[in-house]
Structure 1
Amino acid sequence: MKLLYLVNQYPKISHTFIRREIQALEKLGVEVIRVASTNNPDELVDAADRDELPKTRLLVKGQAKALLKALVTEALKRPGKFIRALKLALVMAGRANYRYIHHLAYLAEACLLLQISQQEKVSHIHAHFGTNPAAIATLTRVLGGPTYSFTVHGPEDFDHPAELSMSDKIAHAAFVVAITHYCKSQLFRWCSYPDWKKIEIVRCGVDAQMLQVSVDEVSVPNDRPFRFINIGRLSEQKGQMLLLQAMKVLCDQGVQAELHIIGDGPFRGQLEDYINQQGLQNNVLLLGSKSGDQVREALDCADVMVLPSFAEGLPVVIMEAMARKKPVISTLIAGIPELVTQDNGWLVPAGDVQGLAKVMIQATAVSVENRVRMGQAGYHAVSEQHDIDIEASKLKCLFERYAGGA
């Protein structure tokens, strides 16, 4: 079987879970063609991501002539199907606040993707995210391309599902992957009842390297303050400003704790300003983007992961923290409670600074023995629910069942 994986940007530092999924499928004997609209090699810090660059074909970046040629060729070659795809693109654009230029660009990408699929003799297309990749896959199918499916993560997929034409994307798809039960329930809201049967749960996963933790790696030095770690893009939805406010509460109450934040993004300047204004320079470190090996090392040296997000699907960094046997503090939203429980962490209401600070203080008072117990519970939960090899096997079965269907 030959699959084509379609992503808006790949490889990407925040899309390592997609790389793991592709590589797990390849271990199972599936041939995977990688296609992305664009990528940014300069932002990649992980060697494994850089290795994906020469394997990935681009639809937009540097492809202006190829896109125009594909658009004209397919319009002349299959006018009936092209007109149907054009009409659908215009309908989608109308729902999306009349973004006609964007959707005509998606149609051009679909024409080029159709040609790539035919050249590579692709059996099935799988897109990640219900946004523009799913739109391109849908238009490719209407043009006469292979069957397709797509994985929905959230939260962006659920912010404006009507504008994303989610119901049309599901209707044309062979099946749709939801990464949690919460995600599945939201898709039920935005498709017709007969299409409910298309929604399948396949979870994001961590690989064997992340799950290989020795006893020594669980131990952390006791000659430093209690260390919280936060990993993620520096943006409003990840709640890092709320986390800094909570750290200010801890410092004001004399709690000996430090916070290491890994990641980068548009919110960095505001976080730096707050740290300087509140005198948190000795308590909070903004470490920037790190490679996979560096993330594992940072998790092993931390005591508790804290992720006070306002909007999520189910963050992969929570799975990674649990794979490294670390308790997790997070918010009571979306799919997070499906993994974080009182056995392996703490859940707080989103947006509650005092509630977050209270739980962080409680975490610093938990004995090492109890933290180890919680870490073990998290490790067992993520091993059972988020092993990438197991989840890839589920995906392979779905691809084999639906690929090439009518």
Structure 2
Amino acid sequence: MENKKIIFKLGQFPHLSETFILAQIITAIKSGFDVKVIIGKLLDFESSKQQDLISKYEIKDKIILEDFKIPKNRIIRILKWAGLLLINFQNANQIFKYYKAHSKFSLTWLYQWVFYNQFNDAAIFHVQYGTNSGGLSLLKKVGFKPSLIVSFHGHDAFFPINGFIPNNGYYDNLFKYGDLIVANTPYLAEILIELGCPEKMLKIVPVGVDTDFFYQKKIQRNDQISRLITVGRLNIVKGHIYAFQVIKKLKHEGLDVKLTVVGEGPEREKLENYIRDNNLTDSIVLVGSKSRDEIRELLWKNDIFVFSSVSLHNGKSTETQGLVTIEAMACGLPAIVFDSGGVKYTLENGISGFLCDEYDIDCMSAKIKTLVDDKSILIEMGKQANHFANKNYSQKMIDSKWQIIYNKLSNGKY
């Protein structure tokens, strides 16, 4: 009989920049699975830009906090540990193996084993981000029953991870005992193979876009300004400063352009200073973070999407897909992007947008000028962008891929 229980494991939730993870959870719910979500840290739901979806699919009711219930007092911690060992004596052999799988002894391992053993009847554990998989890959090593899927998203494949986690066999157990590793683009898949992931357990499944929500619609305007938009966290890897340099160059060439920047982050002050120091206050506006509905409305009001994300630290920090590019294209905007990481897979160069070498502001400026000067090219590329997004990244198509994966694994046939 098919087991319809899926446990998602996340580091934290809800997280503004991870709407694709919410989409993944909703896919499982819509596919008829009994879904639970284990999270390490619960964030403020009121600040989430996805409250409508969280409410609609009753996500709050599915959340379980990853709490091992370890007493702070050392003596009580030891006594409770002994009690748990006694209660779970029938599983002593597996517990012993689990301790043996670790490089050092810690009371924590038993508390961790007890917490996860309550979910041993699940069909699938789907972990988001490789860095959240460590304990589960060791549990799989000692006989944990659920199939283990781990979706990598980018920074979790570039060492040192978060600037301090070294690659000293970090994913060896995952690649040996996991059931399926998922990458969102061929670019990320190649990185994972270089890290030792067997090709036979690796599958490429892009992050999808709800093309029923993000669709082509043109809002009429009275002015003749060419309007550009970019969406992304104000972080150095997003390369906003290069898009700003492009706007400065276009202004000097006499083009009447305006760039709307959606997003918030640590680079805001630096970017504000650049705008002020270069007299671009009438040409670049930072609007902060926005909800999904607000982003769609802004996309409809603009003509061209620009994405100037770049690779940092010798390529160890880069975009692996670029979801916002696809959302913009689904809304009918041609995309002009830097060839960074896996972004090139999100458009057809010269058909639905233009691809420029990283940091090449001359190329990006020239391509924008091409679309500004010839509205017929702009309109045709917009149509092609919408077609490309629907054909390759629609959420319905991606959902069907995941339904096949989930159904196979829940039947033990993958």
Q: Secondary structure at the match of 1:117?
A: coil
Unaligned runs of 5+ in 1: 92-99
Q: Which amino acid aligns with 1:172?
A: Y
Aligned 8 A contact 1:264 1:288 in 2: yes
Deviation at 1:178, TM superposition (A): 1.4
Residues 365-404 of structure 1, C-alpha deviations (whole Å, 9 max, x = no match): 231x322211221222121211222222222222232347
Q: Does 1:32 align with 2:35?
A: yes
TM-score norm. by structure 1 comes to: 0.84
Is contact 1:231–1:263 with CA below 8 Å preserved after alignment? Answer: yes
Larger helix share, 1 or 2? 1
Match of 2:314 in 1: none
Q: Structure 2: state its 5+ residue gaps.
A: 162-166, 311-317
State the distance in 2 between where 1:387 and 1:139 align.
35
Which stretch of the first structure deviates more once superposed, 281-290 or 358-367?
358-367
1:175 aligns with 2:174: no
Q: Could you tell which deviates more after superposition, 260-269 or 158-167?
A: 158-167
| 1:20-169 matched pairs, under 5 angstroms | 20-41=23-44, 42-48=46-52, 50-51=54-55, 52-59=59-66, 77=88, 78=91, 80-82=93-95, 84-86=97-99, 88-90=101-103, 110-111=112-113, 114-118=116-120, 121-131=121-131, 133-142=132-141, 144-145=143-144, 146-160=146-160, 162-163=167-168, 165-169=170-174
Deviation track 1:186-209 (CA, whole Å, cap 9, x = no partner) reads 2221226xx211111111111243
Shift in Å, 1:32: 1.6
> Does the 8 Å CA contact 2:157/2:192 hold for their aligned counterparts?
no
User: Separation in 1 of the partners of 2:148 and 2:254?
Assistant: 56
Instruction: Report the CA distance between 1:84 and its aligned residue.
Output: 4.5
Q: Relative to 1, partners in 2 of residues 1:170 and 1:254: Cα closer, same or farther, differing over 3 Å?
A: same
Q: Distance in 1 between matches of 2:189 and 2:205?
A: 10
Decide which moves more: 263-272 or 296-305: 263-272
Indicate the larger mover: 44-53 or 293-302. 44-53
Match of 2:321 in 1: 314
CA contact (8 A) 1:182 1:334 kept: yes
> Where in structure 2 are the equivalents of 1:369-388 lying within 5 Å?
369-388=376-395
How far apart, CA to CA, are the structure 2 residues paired with 1:53 and 1:394?
Answer: 26
Tell me by how many angstroms 1:168 deviates: 2.7
Change (3 A) 1:251 1:74: farther
In the alignment, structure 1 residue 343 sits paired with structure 2 residue 346: no
Residue 315 (structure 2) aligns with: none
CA contact 2:35–2:62 (8 Å) conserved in 1: no
2:204 aligned residue (187, 201, 206): 201
How far apart are residue 266 of structure 1 and its match? 1.4
1:384 is paired with a residue whose SS is: helix
User: How many Å separate the matches in 2 of 1:281 and 1:72?
Assistant: 65
Aligned CA-pair RMSD: 3.0
1:94 alignment partner in structure 2: none
Cα separation, 2, equivalents of 1:12 and 1:109: 27
Classify 1:326/1:116 alpha carbon distance in 2 versus 1 (closer, same or farther; 3 Å). Answer: farther
Q: Give me the whole-angstrom Cα distance separating, in 2, the residues matched to 1:343 and 1:371.
A: 10
The 2-side partners of 1:318 and 1:47 are apart by 23
Query: Cα offset for 1:164?
Result: 7.1
Which whole-Å CA distance do the structure 2 matches of 1:371 and 1:237 have between them? 28
CA change 1:167–1:382 in 2 (3 A) is: farther
How do 1:267-286 and structure 2 match up within 5 A? 267-286=267-286
* Shift in CA distance, 144/27, structure 1 to aligned 2, threshold 3 Å: same
- Give distance in 2, aligned partners of 1:140 and 1:354: 52
2:195 counterpart residue number: 190
Conserved? CA contact 1:220–1:303, under 8 Å: no
For 1:276-323, what per-residue CA distance to the aligned partner results, in whole angstroms no more than 9, with x for missing partners?
A: 222211111111111111011011111111111111011110111111
Q: Deviations over 1:163-200 (max 9, x none)?
A: 572343222111111111222222221226xx211111
- Residue in 2 aligned with 1:402? 409
User: What's the counterpart of residue 231 of structure 1?
Assistant: 231
Worse overlay, 161-170 or 336-345: 161-170
Equivalent-residue separation in structure 2 for 1:130 and 1:393 (angstroms): 23
Q: CA deviation at 1:44?
A: 1.3
Structure 1 contact 176–200 (Cα < 8 Å) conserved: yes
Residue identity in the other structure for 1:130: G
Higher mean alpha-carbon deviation, 337-346 vs 133-142, is at: 133-142
1:356 is matched with 364
> Could you report, residue by residue, the CA deviation over 1:318-351 in whole angstroms, capped at 9, with x for unpaired residues?
1111111110011112222222121000111112
Q: Which amino acid aligns with 1:273?
A: N
**Superposition deviation, residue 219 in structure 1:** 4.5
Q: Given residue 205 of structure 1, which amino acid in structure 2 is its aligned partner?
A: G
TM-score, normalised on structure 2?
A: 0.83
The code of the aligned residue for 1:288 comes to: G
Of structures 1 and 2, the larger Rg is shown by 2
* 1:267 CA drift (Å): 1.3
Aligned identity (percent) is 23
| Amino acid in the other structure paired with 1:117 | F
8 Å CA contact 1:35–1:57 kept in 2: the answer is yes
Q: Which amino acid aligns with 2:362?
A: Q
Which residue of structure 2 aligns with residue 251 of structure 1?
A: 251
